[in-house]
């Protein structure tokens, strides 16, 4: 068990304020439960003009919307919207971004929180689901949104760069994940898709793949002065959510004990997501956790520039195959 889990802070500061949220538009994916739900509720309570809940199952999203409306007093106001988004489908990602472009006057921050962790090998879009959901669809959405958000920010012209916050996990930094990374780093997509890959190991590997790729994307490919969007990574820590609901029994029992001893509530963990969505240009390409700079906790092997470049290029090729021209349009 890592020291980060045992010693993680609780009762984190709520850095989102009414001044920072009022009149603004936010998108939160995976927003019907857990961290995403709590983050969306905070945004609505703090006076956001629009809060879009990106959810796989709209009926569940409507239940979440009703709860958020009740907490924020926004029922019937149109502040909270439920939009379908299934990250197992590239078409669903494309449709979601098109709708955002067409229907939203501004997009101030996007929190990409949706993810899967599975105990069995399951496929979507020709890849194991953690690759499709946690890496490819998550980054496809970011790549497609950058030019949309940039164009809308130029029209708003308030001088504040919009943000894309990708939720990752420091579970990808532990020794087991590092050993797994060493085996797949030449082509992490192919490596995670391999039939001999243990399914439960794909979650931490997918998260470290995402982290390594985004660091190169943000710092080398798309600095803020070029892309017009702040892109950062947030680890919410060990939180009491439904993420581990598909875990093997032995791991699930261990996870429940860890939750009881060290876990943050979903509401407490959601404050890290809001920190990312409010963070300034200094957060671009960086890891945040516990509502603070998380860079001191990034291992040297994650900072290896050649691995970052290679990982991004592997993913960029996949994205270009899915949506030709998407990377060049982002630039």
The catalytic residues are 169, 203, 207
**Measuring CA to CA, how many Å separate 72 from each of 45, 76, 103?**
4, 11, 23
Instruction: Judge whether 55 and 65 are in contact, CB under 8 Å.
Output: no
| Strands 109-112 vs 230-235: parallel, antiparallel or unpaired | unpaired
Tokens of 323: 């949506």
Cβ burial, residue 233 (10 Å; 0-12/13-18/19+): buried
- The answer to whether residues 288 and 297 touch, using CB atoms and an 8 Å cutoff, is no
Please state at what angle helix 202-216 crosses helix 305-322, rounded to 10 degrees: 100
Beta pairing partners, 127: 124
Q: Give how far Cα 240 sits from Cα of 18, 23, 35, Å.
A: 26, 31, 9
- Cα distances (angstroms) measured from residue 163 to each of 45, 152, 293, 313: 20, 12, 16, 23
Count each helix (H run) and each strand (E run) in the chain, helices first: 15, 10
């Amino acid at each position: 068990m890592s020291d980060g889990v045992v010693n993680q802070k609780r009762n984190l500061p709520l850095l989102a304020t009414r001044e920072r949220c009022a009149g603004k538009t936010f998108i939160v994916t995976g927003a019907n439960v857990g961290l995403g739900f709590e983050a969306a509720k905070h945004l609505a309570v703090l006076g956001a003009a629009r809060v879009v809940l990106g959810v796989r199952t709209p009926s569940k999203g409507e239940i979440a919307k009703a709860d958020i409306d009740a907490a924020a007093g926004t029922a019937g106001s149109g502040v909270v919207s439920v939009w379908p988004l299934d990250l197992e489908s590239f078409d669903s990602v494309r449709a979601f971004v098109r709708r955002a472009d067409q229907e939203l006057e501004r997009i101030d921050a996007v929190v990409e929180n949706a993810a899967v962790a599975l105990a069995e090998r399951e496929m979507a879009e020709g890849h194991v689901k953690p690759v499709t959901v946690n890496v490819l669809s998550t980054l496809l959405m970011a790549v497609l949104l950058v030019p949309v958000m940039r164009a809308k920010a130029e029209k708003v012209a308030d001088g504040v760069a919009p943000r894309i916050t990708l939720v990752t996990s420091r579970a990808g930094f532990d020794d087991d994940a590092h050993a797994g990374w060493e085996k797949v780093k030449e082509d992490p997509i192919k490596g995670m898709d391999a039939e001999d890959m243990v399914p439960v190991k794909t979650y931490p590997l997918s998260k470290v793949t995402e982290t390594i790729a985004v660091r190169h994307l943000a710092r080398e490919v798309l600095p803020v002065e070029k892309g017009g969007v702040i892109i950062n990574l947030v680890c919410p820590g060990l939180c009491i959510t439904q993420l581990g609901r598909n875990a093997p029994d032995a791991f699930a029992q261990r996870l429940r004990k860890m939750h009881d001893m060290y876990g943050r509530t979903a509401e407490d963990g959601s404050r890290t997501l809001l920190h990312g969505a409010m963070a300034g240009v200094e957060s671009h390409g960086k890891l945040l956790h516990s509502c603070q700079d998380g860079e001191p906790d990034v291992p040297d092997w994650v900072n290896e520039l050649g691995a970052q470049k290679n990982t991004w290029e592997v993913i960029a090729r996949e994205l270009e195959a899915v949506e030709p021209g998407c990377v060049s349009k982002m630039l």
